[in-house]
Amino acid sequence: MKGKKTSESYCLGIESTADDFGVGISTFNGKILANIISAYIPPEGGIHPREAARHHAKVGNKVLEEAFQKAGIKPRDLSIISFSQGPGLGPCLRTGATVARALASYLDIPLVGVNHCVAHIEIGKLKTGAEDPVTLYVSGGNTIVSAFDSGRYRVFGETLDVALGNCLDVFAREAGLHQRVGEPFGAVVEKLAANGKKLIHLPYTVKGMDMSFSGLLTAVINLLKKGEYKLEDLCYSLQETAFSMVTEVTERALAHTEKKEVLLTGGVAANKRLQLMIKAIAEEHDADFSVMPREFAVDNGAMIAWTGILAYKHGVVTPIEKSFVKLRWRLDEVEVPWVE
Ligand code: AMP
Ligand code: MG
């Protein structure tokens, strides 16, 4: 294929850690030219890793084509390929990695493996202008409070069991709520919660700086099954309790690090009530508050493309033989030499 003559350099990033297959294309200067996401919605029940992976394999070609079309470039114009190497679900990660390896070998260009959690922070900084934030990253698979210190993004607090988004999703499923395209379970819970009035006492578990949502989830599901409370009140109480936990930990990280910015990202960042709570503690500590727009808050390929560029510019490349996926690759294991 003959590419358009261009002096710009581009990276294509592939995201496939869980239920979303995303392809993003970014210029080396951080202009996002395309960010196409195809979300897998299971017919019923939760995400089955192999079925999600099958979805990714099926839509892969179409999503790639759409991304090239949107960006107005050809595969030959690319300088590097990056992919989310972890953490995530094995079959899903492997599908994305396979596509990335095939593209990089075929085009004979460098491959860069990116940590998914680092990518959420980097796209957050790119899109909001935050320079050195305390980040609250809350999604279907992760709940992490982090901030940069001596070469790495350190984890100040995290969930000890299920992620905040997953907690909302499991509850919604138990309650028989329905998910439509573009309206995730968390958003359905948020709508119901807005009409809740009664705050029901539920387990609130913060241990040191870490959080546990499983006791809360079990308790609220038990109350749901008893049928004594209105669903709106249960949604409201679940949100208030869970969001207070992440807010407490974020505030303590802010007080400890004395950073002057707070960044809220991940799929759950779309929640207006959570935004208000985090904004309030940011203001109390004279810190700027930013929330990521949804397109870049959910799992997406643009964040992988951009982080691939940052890493590549600092000499990071991933030879094919070292491009195996890392299911439990922690945020704080990654050196980020591009951050001052
Ligand atoms: P991600 O894992 O980043 O792709 O985000 C997906 C998660 O975000 C799921 O757990 C959703 O239920 C959750 N989510 C999306 N919108 C909202 C919302 N408005 N309120 C709470 N959670 C949400
Ligand atoms: Mg997702």
For residues 103-132, give the mean pLDDT.
Answer: 98
Residue 93 Cβ inside 6 Å of ligand 1? The answer reads: no
Answer yes or no: do 327 and 263 share one domain: no
Q: What is the pLDDT of residue 42?
A: 82
In a domain, 34, yes or no: yes
Would the CB of 190 count as within 6 Å of ligand 1?
yes
Q: What is the pLDDT of residues 24-65, one digit of tens each?
A: 999 999 999 999 999 998 877 778 999 999 999 999 999 999
Residues 97 and 166 reside in one and the same domain:
no
Domain presence at residue 339:
no
Does the reported pTM lie above 0.85?
yes
Q: How many CB atoms lie within 10 A of CB 60?
A: 20
Instruction: Give the pLDDT confidence score for residue 268 in this predicted structure.
Output: 98
Q: Does 304 map to a domain?
A: yes
- Same domain for 136 and 33: no
Residues for the chain: how many in total? Answer: 340
Q: Domains in the chain: how many in total?
A: 2
State whether 116 and 258 are in the same domain: no
- Report CA(37)–ligand 2 centroid distance (Å): 10
Domain assignment present for residue 3? The answer is no
Domain-located, residue 88: yes
pLDDT at res. 46 = 75
Whether 171 maps to a domain, the answer reads: yes
**Domain-embedded: residue 2:** no
The pLDDT of residue 41 is 85
Given a cut of 50, whether residue 4 has pLDDT beyond it is no
- Same domain flag for 139 and 268: yes
Buried b (16+ CB within 10 A) or exposed e, 189-216: bbebbeebeeebebeebeeebbbbbbeb
**Ligand 1 pocket, residue 268 CB under 6 Å:** yes
Per residue, the 3-state secondary structure of the chain, as one string, reads CCCCCCCCCEEEEEECCCCEEEEEEEECCCCEEEEEEEECCCCCCCCCHHHHHHHHHHHHHHHHHHHHHHHCCCHHHEEEEEEEEECCCHHHHHHHHHHHHHHHHHHCCCEEEEEHHHHHHHHHHHHHCCCCCEEEEECCCCEEEEEEECCEEEEEEEECCCCHHHHHHHHHHHCCCCCECCECHHHHHHHHHCCCCCCCCCCCCEECCEECCHHHHHHHHHHHHHCCCCHHHHHHHHHHHHHHHHHHHHHHHHHHHCCCEEEEECHHHHCHHHHHHHHHHHHHCCCEEEECCHHHHCCCHHHHHHHHHHHHHCCCCCCHHHCCCCCCCCHHHCECCCCC
* Residues in Cβ contact with 227 at an 8 Å cutoff, skipping those fewer than 6 apart: none
User: From ligand 2's centre to the CA of 268, what distance in Å?
Assistant: 10
Q: Are 15 and 98 in a shared domain?
A: yes
Q: Is the CB of 165 under 6 A from ligand 1?
A: yes
Going from the Cα of 265 to the center of ligand 2, the distance in angstroms, rounded, reads 12
CA distances from residue 161 to 11, 89, 142, 144, 240 in whole angstroms, order as listed = 35, 16, 10, 12, 19
CA-166 nearest atom, ligand 1:
10
| Tens of pLDDT, residues 193-231 | 999 999 999 999 999 999 999 999 999 999 999 999 999
Residue 143 CA to ligand 2 centre (angstroms): 13
Do 216 and 96 belong together in one domain?
Answer: no
Check if 139 has its Cβ closer than 6 Å to any atom of ligand 1.
yes
Q: Residue 5 pLDDT more than 50?
A: no
Q: Do 144 and 264 have their domain in common?
A: yes
The confidence score (pLDDT) of residue 2 equals 41
Ligand nearest to the CA of 185: 1
Over pLDDT 90: what percentage of the chain? 93
Average pLDDT over the chain reads: 96
Asked whether 325 lines ligand 1 (CB < 6 A), one says no
The per-residue pLDDT for range 260-271, each reduced to its tens digit, is 999 999 999 999
> What is the span of the domain harbouring residue 207?
122-293
Determine if ligand 1 sits within 6 Å of the CB of residue 169: yes
* Cα 313 to ligand 1 centroid, rounded to whole Å: 32
Residues 225 and 252 both lie in one domain = yes
Q: Are residues 115 and 183 in the same domain?
A: no
Residue 1, pLDDT above cutoff 60: no
Phi and psi of 73, rounded to 5°? -130, 170
Q: How deeply is 276 buried, as exposed, middle or buried, from its count of CB atoms within 10 A (0-12, 13-18, 19+)?
A: exposed
Average pLDDT over residues 91-115: 98
Does residue 254 surpass a pLDDT of 90? yes
User: Is residue 130 located within the same domain as residue 275?
Assistant: yes
Q: What is the CATH number for 49?
A: 3.30.420.40
Q: Is residue 328 part of a domain?
A: yes
Cβ–ligand 1 contact at 185 (below 6 Å): yes
The answer to whether 280 and 151 have CB atoms below 8 angstroms apart is no
Residue 181 has pLDDT above 70, yes or no: no
Instruction: Examine the domain organization and report whether 167 and 214 are in the same domain.
Output: yes
